[in-house]
Amino acid sequence: MKRIWYILTIVLISAPAIAQTTAGQLLRQGMYKEDIEGDLKGAIIVYERILSRFPDDRKSAAMSQLRIGCCQEKLGLNEAAASYRSVIANFSDQTQVVKAARVKLARLNGRGEGLSTEEKAALVDYYIKRKYVDLMSDLSADGSKIAFTDWTTGNLVVKDVKSGQITPLTHKTWDESREFAYWKVWSRDGKRIAYVWYGGIDSAQLRVISVDGGNPQIVHAHPGMYLQPKDWTPDGNYIIAKLTRLKEADPTEGPGQKVVRLSLSSGSYEILYAVDGMARGTECSRDGQHIVFGNKLGDEAVGGKVYLYSFTDRSVIQVPGLEASDSPCWSPDGRFVLYRVMTGQGANLVALEMDKGKAVGRPIVIGTNLAETVRRRAGVTNEHLNAYLRKSEALLLSAEKRAMESFDEEFTANVLDTAWDVLAWEGPNVYGFSSCGRYSLSARPGYLRYEPDPMTSLGGNPMFCDSYSYWYYPALVLCRMFKGTQWCLEAKGTIRLLSGADNQG
Residue 190 covered by a domain: yes
Judge whether residue 463 has pLDDT over 50: no
**Nearest-CA neighbor of 429 among 134, 193, 167?**
134
389 and 359 in a common domain: no
Identify the sign of the CA torsion 255, 243, 267, 238: negative
Judge whether 374 lies within some domain.
no
**pLDDT tens, position by position, 376-401:** 777 777 777 777 777 777 776 776 66
Which amino acid, 333?
D
Could you tell me which residue, 299 or 414, shows the higher pLDDT? 414
Name the β-bridge partners of 240. Answer: 231, 261
Q: Which pLDDT does position 438 carry in this prediction? A: 57
Residues 88-126: tens digit of each pLDDT: 889 989 999 998 888 888 777 655 566 778 889 999 999
Q: Is the pLDDT of residue 66 over 60?
A: yes
* d(C-alpha 143, C-alpha 157), whole Å: 16
| pLDDT per position as a tens digit, 321-370 | 666 788 899 999 998 999 988 776 678 899 988 888 888 777 888 988 88
For residues 195 and 233, state if they share a domain: yes
Residue 266 lies in a domain: yes
477 CB-contact burial (10 Å; exposed 0-12 / middle 13-18 / buried 19+)? buried
User: How confident is the model over 369-382, as pLDDT tens digits?
Assistant: 887 787 777 777 77
Reading phi first (left if > 0) and then psi (alpha if -120 to 50, else beta), residue 52 is in alpha
Please give the pLDDT value at position 425: 66
- Give the count of alpha carbons within 13 A of 57, CB side only: 18
Alpha helices in 253-369 (DSSP H): none
Angle at 236 between CA 230 and CA 237, to 5 degrees: 95
Top pLDDT among 464 and 278 is at 278
Which string of DSSP letters, residue by residue, matches 310-342? Answer: ETTT--EEEPSS-SSEEEEEE-TTSSEEEEEEE
Residue bearing the bigger pLDDT, 495 or 440: 440
Residue 167: inside a domain: yes
If asked whether residues 68 and 163 sit together in one domain, one would say no
Q: In total, how many domains does the chain have?
A: 4
Distance CA 32, CA 39 (A): 9
**Structure confidence at residue 469 (pLDDT):** 42
Region 462-479 average pLDDT: 49
Backbone CA torsion sign across 47, 49, 50, 51: positive
Q: What CATH number does residue 301 fall under?
A: 2.120.10.30
How far is residue 503 from each of residues 149, 316, 398, 466, 477, measured CA to CA in Å? 8, 37, 29, 19, 14
**96 or 448, greater pLDDT:** 96
pLDDT at 492: 54
Claim to verify: residue 63 and residue 23 sit in the same structural domain: yes
Q: Alpha-carbon distance 321 to 317, whole Å?
A: 12
Would you state the pLDDT for residue 371? 74
Phi, psi of 426 (to 5 degrees): -110, 5
Residue 466 C-beta-side C-alpha neighbours within 13 Å: 10
Domain at 74, CATH number: 1.25.40.10
Supply the range of the domain harboring residue 244: 141-275
Print the SS3 string covering 198-218: ECCCCCEEEEEEECCCCCCEE
Give the CA count within 13 Å in the CB-facing half-sphere of 448.
Answer: 19
With vertex at residue 127, the alpha carbon angle to CA 124 and CA 132, rounded to the nearest 5 degrees, is 115
To which H or E segment does residue 124 belong?
Answer: helix 117-131
* Residue ending a domain, choose from 241, 260, 275: 275
Whether 148 maps to a domain, the answer reads yes
**243: which strand partners?**
227, 258
pLDDT tens-place string over residues 182-221:
889 999 999 999 999 988 767 889 999 999 989 999 999 9
pLDDT averaged over every residue in the chain:
77
Do 187 and 260 fall into the same domain?
A: yes
Question: 271 and 360: one domain?
Answer: no
Confidence at 461, pLDDT banded by 50, 70, 90: very low
Q: Determine the distance from the C-alpha atom of residue 390 to the mean position of all C-alpha atoms in its chain, rounded to a whole number.
A: 32
Residue type, 222: H
- Find out whether 73 and 361 touch, Cβ atoms under 8 Å: no
Q: Are residues 9 and 125 in the same domain?
A: no
Dihedral angle computed from the Cα positions of residues 496, 501, 502 and 505, in that order, rounded to the nearest 10 degrees:
-10
Which of 13-27, 200-214, 227-241, 487-501 has the highest average model confidence (pLDDT)?
227-241
Using pLDDT thresholds of 50, 70 and 90, give the confidence band for residue 454.
Answer: very low
Residue 452 pLDDT > 50: no
Model confidence at 501: pLDDT above 90: no
pLDDT of residue 460 exceeding 50, the answer is: no
45: pLDDT strictly greater than 50: yes
Decide which of 33 and 490 is more confident: 33
Please tell me what DSSP assigns to residue 249: P
pLDDT band at 4 (very low <50, low <70, confident <90, very high): very low
Give 37's DSSP letter. Answer: I
pLDDT at residue 480 above 80? no
- Residue 145 and residue 263 in one domain: yes
State which of 164-168, 353-357, 383-387, 472-476 shows the largest mean pLDDT. Answer: 164-168
* pLDDT above 70: residue 446: no
SS3 sequence, 426-449? CCCCCCCCCCCCCEECCCCCCCCE
Spell 390-408 as b/e; 16+ CB within 10 A means b: ebbeebeeebeeeeeeeee
d(C-alpha 227, C-alpha 258), whole Å: 10
Residue 13's contacts (CB-CB under 8 Å, 6 or more residues apart) are none
403 and 442 within one domain: yes
Higher pLDDT, 454 or 237: 237
Split at pLDDT 50, 70, 90, the class of 7 is very low
- Shared domain check, 287 and 252: no
Q: Tell which of 275, 306, 324 closes a domain.
A: 275
| Domain limit, last residue, from 235, 250, 275 | 275
Bridge partners for 462 per DSSP: 456
With CA atoms as reference, report the closest residue to 411 among 481, 498, 497, 478.
478
Residue 64's alpha-carbon distances to 28, 43, 59, in angstroms, are: 10, 10, 9
Average pLDDT of 431-437?
50
CB under 8 Å, gap of 24 or more: what pairs does 487-494 form?
A: 487/405, 487/406, 492/410, 493/411, 493/447
67: pLDDT strictly greater than 90: yes
Percent of the chain with pLDDT over 70: 70
